[in-house]
Amino acid sequence: MIAKRVLFVDDEPNIRMTLPRILEHKGYKVSTASSVAEAVDLINKENFDVLISDLNIGQPGDGFTVVSVMRRVQPEAVTFILTGYPDFESALQAIRSQVDDYLTKPADIGALVSAIEFKLAHRKPLRSIVPQRVPELLLENLNQVMKRWIEQVSNHPEFHGTQQGDIRERAQRLADLLSGICYQVIRKEDLLQEGLRAKAAQHGAQHSSANSRSELIVTESRLLQRIISHFLQENMLKLDLSTLIFDAMNLADLISEAMEQSLSGFNQRSFAA
């Protein structure tokens, strides 16, 4: 019988030395990688039956990227995520449609081998994976993104004393702006359209009318971009990697331009008053 090939990805040298030896003793042929770049290079050069990747390789969530590449290049491979955080199950549930299973560190070798053998013997029929562009994913989940933004702003010390009604009104205006920005990114437009510039300026003017501070406009924008980054990281397996960098950069540029227009609208309203 031909030995099944395993790619093991982890940035910890000790586990890269020990786990592969144990798997090889069990009859598997194991290749190792210590980074996302090394893993992607191996995936493009060699064929594997199984991928076992640490969740955090250098950066949190890097394992999702490795799984995503494997799914696209070698969709028949069985994929496992290895995590040191057992309470991360709820987040992993969301990606189980693409990850076959997850294991917690330190890995129980018996359980690991049993899981590999079971998954190899019961490979699911391949489902078509239609990757989405960043703006498409955000538009589908706009309510969820803005709900997180409201939670972040409500608990942020700089917004202490701000009424919930005001926060929700600002969230609605920002959601309107973000929606328009996403459509611009889809069309690959890198300058904010006049209509969105006007909406952004009006957002700043309303801040001024409410006796808010201009610094809060910057904080709002920073929190929004952070939430978007975290959301994209969580949904990495759904994204089209070929457009990811361009779309993310264009999105960030347009959000920053909208923030600048909001600051301009704030200042104009303040001077007029």
CATH of the domain at 138: 1.10.490
84 pLDDT band, cuts 50/70/90, is confident
Domain containing 20: what range?
A: 5-121
* 266 and 141, same domain (yes or no): yes
* 11 and 81, same domain (yes or no): yes
- pLDDT > 70? residue 125: no
55: in domain: yes
92 pLDDT band, cuts 50/70/90, is low
* 90 and 180, same domain (yes or no): no
Model-level pTM? 0.61
pLDDT value of position 143: 92
Average pLDDT of the segment spanning 95-110: 74
pLDDT value of position 96: 53
pLDDT value of position 94: 44
* 138 and 100, same domain (yes or no): no
**Residues linked to residue 57 through DSSP beta bridges, in sequence order:** 59
Alpha carbon of residue 151 to chain centroid: 19
Domains: count for the chain: 2
89 pLDDT band, cuts 50/70/90, is low
pLDDT value of position 32: 95
101: in domain: yes
Residues with Cβ within 8 Å of residue 144, at least 6 apart in sequence: 231
- pLDDT > 70? residue 87: no
- Helix/strand/coil for 83: strand
At 42-78, the pLDDT tens digits run: 998 999 999 999 888 877 777 877 887 888 788 889 9
* 85 and 198, same domain (yes or no): no
- pLDDT > 80? residue 20: yes
Residue 101: name the closest of 77, 81, 122 by CA.
81
More confidently predicted of 87 and 54: 54
221 vs 174: CA distance, rounded Å: 9
* 37 and 109, same domain (yes or no): yes
Q: Tell me the pLDDT of the chain averaged across its residues.
A: 86
Percent of the chain whose pLDDT exceeds 90 = 47
9 vs 42: CA distance, rounded Å: 11
- pLDDT > 70? residue 218: yes
244: in domain: yes
Average pLDDT of the segment spanning 93-108: 70
DSSP, residue by residue, 203-271: HHHHHHHTT--HHHHHHHHHHHHHHHHHHHHHTGGGB-HHHHHHHHHHHHHHHHHHHHHHHHHHHHHHH
At 242-272, the pLDDT tens digits run: 899 999 999 999 999 999 999 999 998 877 6
145: in domain: yes
90 pLDDT band, cuts 50/70/90, is very low
* 30 and 140, same domain (yes or no): no
* 238 and 148, same domain (yes or no): yes
* 115 and 155, same domain (yes or no): no
* 172 and 222, same domain (yes or no): yes
Residues with Cβ within 8 Å of residue 173, at least 6 apart in sequence: 199, 202, 203, 206
At 162-213, the pLDDT tens digits run: 889 999 999 999 999 999 999 999 999 889 999 999 999 999 999 888 877 8
240 vs 233: CA distance, rounded Å: 13
129: in domain: no
234 vs 64: CA distance, rounded Å: 8
* 156 and 251, same domain (yes or no): yes
* 196 and 258, same domain (yes or no): yes
Residue 8: name the closest of 60, 59, 70 by CA.
70
pLDDT value of position 73: 84
